[in-house]
Amino acid sequence: MIKISVSIDVSNLNQAETFYVEALGCKKLRDQGSDMTVLSTENCDIYLQQKHEGSKPLLSSEVVRDYSRHWTPVHLDFLAKNVDELVEKIVRLGGRHEGGESGEWGSIAYCADPFGNGFCIINE
């Protein structure tokens, strides 16, 4: 079986570590050099990688890193028992709450970290 890990580019590693640990309950596993921190959830490792804004993620592309709010079809979903409580922490620590939905199935909050990376909080 293949294990999945997630890499998230950020412009400020210390701020990102604080956000993901305190707002989303990730656990710090280790620092990996001066520009990478490895966090963990129950079933996934998250690699926070400090990359300068404006740097190229691919040498063969004109695209550069931009930490304003951006959208990507691939994003993280964090499952939580109390969505509203988690959203309060996210906003307090510099993240954004961008709306949500609820129904018989539960609720979802659309959010972004301080670096423009979108994710969802969903009832567990």
DSSP the chain: -PPPEEEEEES-HHHHHHIIIIIT--EEEEE-SSSEEEEE-SS-EEEEEE--TT--SSTT-S-----S----S--EEEEES-HHHHHHHHHHTT-EEEEEEEETTEEEEEEE-TTS-EEEEEE-
Q: Identify the structural domains of the chain with CATH numbers, from first to last.
A: 5-53+67-123 (3.10.180.10)
22 phi and psi, to 5 degrees? Answer: -80, -40
Tens digit of each residue's pLDDT (9 = 90 or more) over 30-50 = 999 999 999 999 889 999 999
Distant-in-sequence, close-in-space partners of 75: CB < 8 Å, separation ≥ 6 = 117, 118, 119, 120
Tens digit of each residue's pLDDT (9 = 90 or more) over 48-94 = 999 999 999 998 989 999 999 988 889 999 999 999 999 999 999 99
Tens digit of each residue's pLDDT (9 = 90 or more) over 8-17 = 999 999 999 9
Q: pTM for the full model?
A: 0.91
Task: Compute the distance between CA of residue 121 and CA of residue 124 in angstroms, rounded to an integer.
Answer: 9
